[in-house]
Amino acid sequence: MRKIAIINQKGGVGKTTTAINLAAGLAKRGFKVLILDLDGQGNISTALNINAEKDMYSMLVEKQEPESCMTEVRENISVIPSNDTLEKAEVIMSGQPSRETILKRALQDVRGFDYILLDCPPSLSILNQNALLYADEAFIPASTDFLGLDALRKMLKEIDTINNVFSHECDVTMIIPTMFDGRNKTCKEHHKLMKTEFNGIPISEPIRINSKLKEMPKSGKTIFEYANSSRGAQDYKKLVDLVAKQKVM
């Protein structure tokens, strides 16, 4: 069971888009996937058209069984969704003992999935600390521009710090360059830097800027359902193949 935090403290870099389409592609290949939505904006719920009774708050604060908070949204894809109650959950969690491992303890008996993907919020919050201390791996989507590269560096440092402080091992096992435009000089330059600066960390092929990916959340579908021959679908298919064959310790 691979537990992967899709994380970057910068917003708008494609975390949620990656979580949804990676889950969809892996599920198509027969893997069982659980998505944990840790962003109170509820983007996953909107994008996948989920209207659930129970959510992340029910599990983290009301201590309800994780299985009872899951909603099956497609064949092989379950989600523990979030909405604006998550903000309240975070405030409550902040006052609790061992507040950084609440998620880990809540999910400790969950089995039966091949992949657990955590869609993380754009911050260095208690929720993200919880995500990193539950996950064994982190995938960092990073936009191919100056601020994207800067955020990537900061994220790598942050993960290092969390690992050291909590004696945890969450390995960065994929950098995913996003919002790539091959005709744009800045994109090309920063993509090149991403490929050379972080020796030893696997890096996927870039996810290109694609209007179908931008339209996707409104459709309530994954990119494979919405526009299966788009560039966005092609790029995410490649990513799914890479992840599915990845050997991890």
Ligand X SMILES: Nc1ncnc2c1ncn2[C@@H]1O[C@H](COP(=O)(O)OP(=O)(O)O)[C@@H](O)[C@H]1O
> Using CB under 5 A as the criterion, which residues of the chain lie in contact with Mg ion when the complex forms?
15-16, 39, 43
In the set 3, 4, 5, 17, which binds ligand X (CB under 6 A)? 17
d(CA 37, CA 39): 6
Q: Per 3-state DSSP, what percentage of the chain is helix, strand, and coil (rounded to 5)?
A: 45, 15, 35
In the set 22, 33, 93, 209, which binds ligand X (CB under 6 A)? 209
For ligand X, which stretch binds (CB under 6 A), given 99-107, 132-140, 161-169, 210-218? 210-218
Determine the 3-state secondary structure of 83 from DSSP.
coil
Stretch 159-198: interaction string toward ligand X, x if CB under 6 A: -------------------xx-------------------
Which of 215, 214, 242, 236 is closest to 224 using CA atoms? 236
- Whether the CA torsion 184, 190, 195, 196 is positive or negative: it is positive
Q: Which residues in 119-134 are b (16+ Cβ under 10 Å) and which e?
A: bbbbeebbbbbbbbbb
Closest CB to ligand X among residues 27, 47: 47
d(CA 12, CA 141): 10
d(CA 64, CA 191): 43
Closest CB to ligand X among residues 61, 155: 155
User: Phi, psi (5° rounding) for residue 33?
Assistant: -125, 140
Closest CB to Mg ion among residues 101, 125: 125
Closest CB to ligand X among residues 61, 235: 235
Q: Does 42 bind ligand X (CB under 6 A)?
A: no
For ligand X, which stretch binds (CB under 6 A), given 49-57, 79-87, 88-96, 213-221? 213-221
> Which residues would be at the binding site for ligand X (CB under 6 A)?
11-17, 43, 122, 178-179, 207, 209-210, 213-214, 216-217, 232
